[in-house]
Structure 1
Amino acid sequence: MDNDLFPLLQLCDSNFPSGAFSHSFGLETYIQEQIIVDKESFKTALSVFVDKQLVFSDGLACRLSYEVLESGRGMDELLEIDRLLFVSTLAKETREGNRRIEERMAKLCMDLYAIPALGEYLYFIKNKQGFGHSALVFAFVAHHLQIDKEKILSAYLFASVSSLTQNAVRGVPLGQTDGQRLLVEIQVKINEAKNTIMKLTKDDLGAVSPGLEIAQMRHERLPVRLFMS
């Protein structure tokens, strides 16, 4: 068995206390508007989220960050990716959600692995020279543990999809079985997304869907909410 399998399983575990269970990243807006009403309508929305948000924002940032660490080019480029992620995220709740998830994940990963570069990243965030995003944390952990770039990218995409699916089980609501069926069906989409990300450049970072951004911005005005974003 690969030695890097266990850290990947731990990072992708729904019990990993990152706080992602508190966020829908705009999908709750579609639930309340009854655009998402069942497994198939959620699968459609989730596929768009993967193709846009995860490919052109979070996933691409994870890959770019890993490559910066791999090349040893330094913290300045990582902070630039961090900044681009922040300024290209228009919805305040989504920016704050990403920051909170990063904060929890980074502190826990520091306790688990004591990664010097991650500690430096947290120092810059604490001193208001960075913003924070889980995509970079995944890259720090993967590079430190010498996990293959494509493996960690697939793991990051799956962890994001799995978290949103579990939230949909509560929010739509979906049955647990439908949630697990969806995670099987979406694996092809995740692999396609990973392959697309591997072909993109830094210039593509932030090219997300306007419809999704509007849903994320409208979420903060919903009269009743299960999720923070």
Structure 2
Amino acid sequence: MKEKEANTSQLLQLMTLLSPFFPVGSFAYSHGIEQSVHDGLITCCADMEIWLRGLLQKGTGWNDTVFLIQAWRNVKTGTDITELGQLACAMSGSSEREMETCMQGWAFLKAAADYGAECPIHSEKLAYPIAVGIIGAEMDIELEALVAAYLHSFISNLVQAGIRLVPLGQKDGVKIMHALENDIRRLSQQARHLTLTDLGSAAIMSDICAMRHETLYTRIFRS
């Protein structure tokens, strides 16, 4: 009974910390998807699903997972997190990507403090997955569940951007989320085994679109 109660408590915490209304400003960022739609690279539901799966398997979704995991471990082992935070920012790939992750990371830490979670470090330049890993560890949230919730939030935010930009219907959004559930589950199940040596990205078009978005004349999103 206690185990079930603990799991329910963690589930409720995750649903709050990574919910759309948690004030991190994620709605303002498209992660380069606005540029990809403008360039005709994403035109339909199937394109969007393929694009997001690429982020999970070989792009920022993958690297964010590695950084979140390592931040969680560093807190648990009392290891300094400064260099890890610097590495996460350095691997952002473009100025807007760095702004996106650092502004959300800072906002997450401030909001989490109001929620009752204390952060052991104070920096205005901390990548979002690092911030989530730190707070998750401080709140003693199980690692696999934390990764799954973070990735679900990451993907659902980009699906919402796609619904507005492509445009897609809400049923298309649900279809995409359902199609990517197995990818999110598989990646979260690898959490115990991933280390910094697993960092790497091959989502080239996503990175290029994030760079090109910086000079897009008419736009809705900040990235």
TM > 0.5 between the two?
Answer: yes
1:68 to 74, 83, 99: 74
1:86 to 84, 89, 101: 89
Give the aligned partner of residue 154 of structure 2.
Answer: 160
Cα deviation, 1:37-56, whole Å, max 9, x if unaligned, reads 11111111111111123454
* d(CA) in 2 for partners of 1:17, 1:202: 29
Give the aligned partner of residue 185 of structure 1.
Answer: 179
Give the aligned partner of residue 209 of structure 1.
Answer: 203
Q: Please tell me whether the aligned partners of residues 88 and 206 of structure 1 are also in contact (alpha carbons under 8 angstroms).
A: no
Identity %: 24
1:59 to 62, 65, 68: 65
1:110 aligns with 2:110: no
Give the aligned partner of residue 11 of structure 1.
Answer: 17
Unaligned runs of 5+ in 2: none
* d(CA) in 1 for partners of 2:61, 2:25: 22
Instruction: State the structure with bigger RCO (CA 8 A, min sep 6), 1 or 2.
Output: 1
Residue 21 of structure 1 deviates from its aligned partner by 0.7
Equivalent positions of 1:80-159 (< 5 A) are: 80-115=83-118, 118=119, 120-122=120-122, 125-126=123-124, 131-159=125-153
Unaligned runs of 5+ in 1: none
* d(CA) in 1 for partners of 2:17, 2:190: 23
Question: What is the number of residues matched between the two proteins?
Answer: 217
Residue 132 of structure 1 deviates from its aligned partner by 0.9
Residue 30 of structure 1 deviates from its aligned partner by 1.1
CA RMSD in angstroms comes to: 1.6
* d(CA) in 1 for partners of 2:135, 2:12: 13
TM-score w.r.t. length of structure 1: 0.88
Q: Please tell me whether the aligned partners of residues 65 and 139 of structure 1 are also in contact (alpha carbons under 8 angstroms).
A: yes
Give the aligned partner of residue 175 of structure 1.
Answer: 169
